[in-house]
């Protein structure tokens, strides 16, 4: 998710400074920062819809449709992703947009009900039927009427077909009395990160202008619709006017009695809190503290007492991490950050400029839990704990960890995996990969749309039939096997 913290490992931490008898081994030199409860960002970001801030209407945030992906477009903005889909007409009815990797999945079908969508916080599901379409002439075509849209003619000579939209999206909560539409975002964020994220999904950090709004949020928690005790909202101290203001410029305290809240200082930002209604917090983040230091490579974040350990080195392998359910281990190289412009601050990551003019420094690293071949730029994870994945559940599992079923386009990939088996880095001799027989074109195809046997000699493999799905095998390179058969997985993270 753009600008959200990307956790390298949950419930783990890098081992600090350890001693083994007379010899010592340094995993990471650390600086520990005790960050008081008023100096850390809220675990959940709280958003109010602000219509018109983004011309892409997100159908469902934090979900995706795992079926009928016809192609994947990499390093692309949300608006351009939507335009690419619209340009394909009936061949694209929706997209899955992966905000962390700026990746666009083109979908040939849509679910009959949004309850069929799968959960993944890195995704946004966007249906074309809910978008506003533009026509190059002064007349809307017949598709506008057929979809019960409203044709709007502008002075420029262009016409827009504005589709009927639900005012409050289906995955948001809505108060008709307050005309207040919000969503709870379960992610760690400081004020600027939360603000950017809310705007990136066509919303804004929530403005709670009256006691009725504050009490409504309290009742939502009482009734079980909110699980947290504290949420970041859109209020901050304005040092110019020396006043607490909402992000729309209105004063916070006036309509709301400050004495009912716990705002003890004039500085920082505002959070909604179940007991104190509104409270002031300092937006300083553990991750931002690390990013501000050139020699900080990772952090251990201890959630129960809000402690931040700054690490001058990062783990080279997940086996070096200790299991501890109170910690989150976060590497800086895994973060995607917004830049004013592409500069050397991006270091060895990819700096990408989108059509909107915004620059992003995109994470370009292989997680420590994966294996990486730098020559092939191949980053993979073998899912060894279960062998009951069919093709569809395998695709869904890989997507849920920010990856895809592995694509192995040349024999170099085979020999690399073969070597990992020889070195006991893989536990099994065969794994499901992202290949299948496409009956429409009559060819074996990878999930990225390329053909399997364009670059690999089929006679070297054990693929005998033109049907089914593809299995990577230590001895046979590839084997065909029946649709529905289950196996272990190779998931690939695109680098």
The residue ranges of every structural domain in the chain are 9-40+285-362, 56-124, 132-166, 171-281, 371-493
Confidence of residue 428 (pLDDT cuts 50, 70, 90): very high
Q: Which residue, 105, 24, 97, 106, is CA-closest to 62?
A: 97
pLDDT of residue 97: 92
Rounded CA gap, 323 and 378, in Å? 27
For the chain, give the number of residues. Answer: 495
- What gap in Å lies between CA 394 and CA 352, rounded to an integer? 30
Q: Which of 214, 233, 213, 216 is nearest to 225 (CA)?
A: 216
**Residue of 329, 328, 301, 305 whose CA lies nearest to 317:** 329
Superfamily in which the 9-40+285-362 domain is placed by CATH: Hepatocyte Growth Factor (3.50.4.10)
Whole-angstrom Cα distance, residue 381 to residue 304?
A: 30
Q: What is the pLDDT of residues 128-164, one digit of tens each?
A: 876 765 554 445 655 565 555 566 665 556 666 655 4
E-state strands within 53-107: 60-64, 69-73, 94-98, 103-107
Q: Are 9-40+285-362 and 56-124 the same fold in CATH? A: yes
- CA nearest neighbour of 456 among 436, 478, 474, 482: 478
Q: Which fold has domain 56-124?
A: Hepatocyte Growth Factor (3.50.4)
Q: d(Cα 144, Cα 141) in Å, to the nearest integer? A: 6
Per-residue b/e over 384-407, b at no fewer than 16 CB within 10 Å? Answer: eeeeebebeebbbbbbbbbbbbbb
Which candidate, 312, 295, 383, 291, places its Cα nearest to that of 14? 312
Q: Which fold has domain 171-281?
A: Mannose-Binding Protein A; Chain A (3.10.100)
**pTM, full prediction:** 0.41
**Can you say whether residue 83 is alpha, beta or left, with left for phi > 0 and alpha for psi between -120 and 50 degrees?**
alpha
pLDDT at 285: 54
* 371-493 classified as CATH 3.40.50.2300: no
Contacts of 341 (CB under 8 A, 6+ apart): 359
User: What's the pLDDT tens digit per position in 311-366?
Assistant: 888 777 666 778 776 677 777 766 555 555 665 556 556 666 666 666 666 655 67
Candidates 446, 434, 431, 322; CA nearest to 383 is 431
DSSP helix, strand, coil percent of the chain (3-state; round to 5):
20, 35, 45
CB contact at 8 A, 158 and 150: no
- Per-residue pLDDT band for 261 (boundaries 50, 70, 90) equals confident
Instruction: Indicate the pLDDT class of residue 273, thresholds 50, 70 and 90.
Output: confident
Q: What is the pLDDT of residue 464?
A: 94
b/e per residue, 445-464, with b = 16+ CB within 10 A? bbbbeeebbeebeeeebebe
């Amino acid at each position: 998710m753009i600008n959200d913290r990307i956790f390298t490992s949950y419930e783990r931490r890098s081992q600090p400074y350890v001693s083994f008898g007379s010899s010592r081994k340094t995993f990471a030199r650390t600086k520990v920062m005790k960050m008081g409860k008023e100096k850390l960002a809220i675990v959940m970001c709280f958003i109010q819809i602000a219509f018109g801030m983004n011309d892409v209407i997100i159908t469902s945030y934090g979900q995706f449709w795992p079926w009928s992906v016809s192609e994947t477009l990499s390093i692309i903005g949300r608006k351009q992703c939507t335009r690419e889909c619209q340009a394909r007409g009936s061949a694209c009815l929706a997209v899955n947009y992966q905000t962390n990797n700026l990746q666009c999945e083109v979908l040939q079908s849509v679910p009959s009900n949004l309850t069929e969508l799968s959960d993944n916080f890195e995704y946004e599901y966007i249906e074309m039927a809910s978008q506003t379409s533009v026509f190059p002439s002064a007349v809307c075509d017949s598709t506008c009427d057929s979809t019960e849209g409203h044709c709007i003619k502008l002075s420029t000579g262009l016409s827009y077909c504005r589709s009927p939209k639900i005012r409050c999206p289906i995955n948001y909560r809505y108060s008709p009395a307050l005309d207040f539409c919000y969503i709870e975002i379960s992610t760690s964020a400081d004020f600027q990160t939360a603000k950017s994220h809310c705007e990136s999904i066509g919303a804004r950090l929530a403005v709670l202008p009256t006691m009725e709004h504050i009490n409504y949020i309290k009742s939502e928690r009482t009734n079980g619709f909110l699980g947290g005790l504290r949420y970041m909202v859109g209020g901050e101290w304005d040092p110019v006017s020396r006043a607490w203001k909402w992000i729309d410029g209105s004063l916070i305290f006036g309509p709301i009695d400050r004495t009912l809240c716990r705002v003890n200082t004039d500085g920082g930002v505002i959070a909604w809190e179940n007991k104190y209604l509104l409270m002031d917090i300092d937006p300083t983040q553990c991750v931002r503290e690390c990013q501000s230091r050139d020699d900080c490579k990772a952090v251990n974040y201890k959630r129960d007492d809000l402690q931040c350990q700054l690490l001058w080195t990062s783990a080279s392998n997940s086996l070096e991490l200790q299991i501890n359910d109170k910690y989150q281990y976060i590497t800086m190289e895994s973060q995607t950050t917004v830049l004013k412009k592409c500069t050397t601050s991006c270091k060895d990551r990819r700096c990408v400029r989108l059509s909107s003019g915004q620059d992003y420094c995109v994470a370009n690293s292989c997680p420590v839990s994966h294996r990486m071949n730098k020559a092939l730029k191949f980053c993979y994870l073998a899912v060894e704990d279960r062998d009951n994945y069919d093709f569809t559940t395998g695709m869904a599992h890989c997507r849920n960890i920010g990856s895809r079923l592995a694509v192995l386009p040349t024999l170099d990939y085979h020999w690399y995996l073969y070597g990992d088996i020889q070195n006991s880095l893989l536990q099994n001799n065969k794994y499901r990969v992202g290949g299948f027989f496409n009956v429409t074109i009559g060819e074996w195809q990878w999930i990225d749309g390329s053909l399997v046997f364009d670059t690999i000699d089929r006679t070297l493999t054990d693929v005998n039939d033109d049907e089914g799905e593809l299995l990577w095998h230590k001895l046979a390179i590839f084997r065909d096997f029946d649709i529905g058969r289950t196996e272990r997985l190779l998931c690939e993270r695109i680098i």
